[in-house]
Chains A and B, each alone.
Chain A
């Protein structure tokens, strides 16, 4: 079984976000990490490989700093990877990125399954996996919370609202967007980290795989949302604030 995991490096969402010229994030204040949802996708791929054999290949579009997290996935157990390090792709929209990822996946050949996270924590679009599936002309399932493979047959549970799951049958090859909580992602071991350093990582430009797509959407600007409502912030050290809060809950809000 040949499994590709699309991985994105994203900012730690607890970082301090500062916007430069209404256009981009000031990266000097940002710590980067693997997109949380992709971490579950890596683990899902590794579990399938352990059961069925084969290889797990990481495909990622991102600048040089993304190598740290591609190698993190190598340390977890992924076999090798492709990094599309191309400013033109990074500047593109979801469609441009999805097209480039799909072209890189096509270059690998005979891929049985492509796993993505349900969304990237930074962009929150939830479209890339579905676009890749369409470009590959394969079926897809999003929000996957359970996965069973039996030869070329796949059974995937798709999460629905209110604790319901849709149990879906489909055939490989397929693209699955993995939801958080499907498994418990492993931590890299020390030998894993040592091995990861030597694993093959092909650093490529988009043009190495095909003609880049043109963006179908245009970014205008970014801004810090101004909320019409702000909580009444209770000041003071923990003890003072806690006492004041309990007082307000009893006497002002009258909910205790």
Chain B
């Protein structure tokens, strides 16, 4: 039977949540296509493959000393071996730091179409239709592939996580892992000893709309202090050096779940939202009424943050 294959992602002996999401997606997609859900796990041994088998009935395990660390060459060669040993219709990969590093390469090797950064999947007349964000989330598009096989990557949170409980079968697949041209020398922590905003009950975050570093200090920081909270930022603010990296919220920064999260001048790109959507109450202040941040906020003010925030201060 044709298979929908999840490429598992693991770090430090732990499966990533995105893999559990993709197991869920593979099951529903496989059932809509009359296919079978499966996963492929690449590692130095089969411990992670056994772990993955709790979430999906069929697991293909490629083990090799060359797969101890992730590398695009190693993962592509291992995935190719699994796909070629099986009848694989589609490959599901997380749109993560690892997924974006090898998914397109795998698609090239398989001569398959790739649709990346998807958030939804549907089947229409036997065809798989992908939905993905474009233009910073302001517009979405539907795409399909023209090839027999597809490779697709998915945003984190696109699907619910599959619960553990199954006892799937682990099958070893042999692959000749050849030259790996990128060598991982070490993994370093860039924010050791820095401020930890993840425990704050109130967070006031500024984005690109704050305009410059002085305004960030004059507007965002005082509101955070007045509310006994922490100040934080979206990626462009940290990239511009207006505040330190440890205060960055989002996929590449911290995940936070405060009682109150005030997002000022933040458009709400998916990478930022991934780090704060668990906040109990979200306030969005933005002059663009179409900013995606209003789709996840509890309260919104469409207006100029330089007028709204001082007015809030007067009322506190």
Contact = CB atoms under 8 A, between A and B. Distances in A.
A67 interface: no
Contacts of A184: 240-241
A88 interface: no
Nearest to A171: B181
Do most interface residues of chain A lie in helix, strand or loop, or is the interface mixed? Answer: mixed
Contact of B139 (A163, A223, A227, A237): A223
Contacts of B72: 130, 139-140
Given A139-B181, A167-B187, A249-B260, A231 B284 contact: yes
| Number of chain A interface residues as a range | 35 or more
B114 A127 contact: yes
Contacts of B133: 124, 225
A217 B144 contact: yes
Nearest to B113: A216
Given A121-B135, A164-B187, A217-B145, 10 more contacts: A95-B108, A123-B134, A124-B117, A127-B103, A164-B190, A216-B147, A217-B146, A219-B143, A225-B133, A241-B303
Interface of A: 11, 13-14, 16-17, 19, 25, 93-95, 118, 121-128, 130-131, 133-135, 138-143, 155, 157-171, 180-181, 184, 215-225, 227, 229-234, 237-239, 241-243, 245-249, 253, 255-256
Contacts of B314: 242
B135 A122 contact: yes
B235 interface: yes
Nearest to B142: A220
Interface residues of B, number: 95
A134 B284 CA distance: 42
Interface of B: 11, 70, 72-73, 95-97, 100-105, 107-109, 111-117, 129, 132-147, 181-191, 202, 227, 235-236, 238-241, 245-246, 251-254, 259-260, 267, 280-284, 288, 290, 292, 294-304, 307-309, 311-312, 314-316
A126 B118 CA distance: 12
Contact of A121 (B102, B136, B303): B136
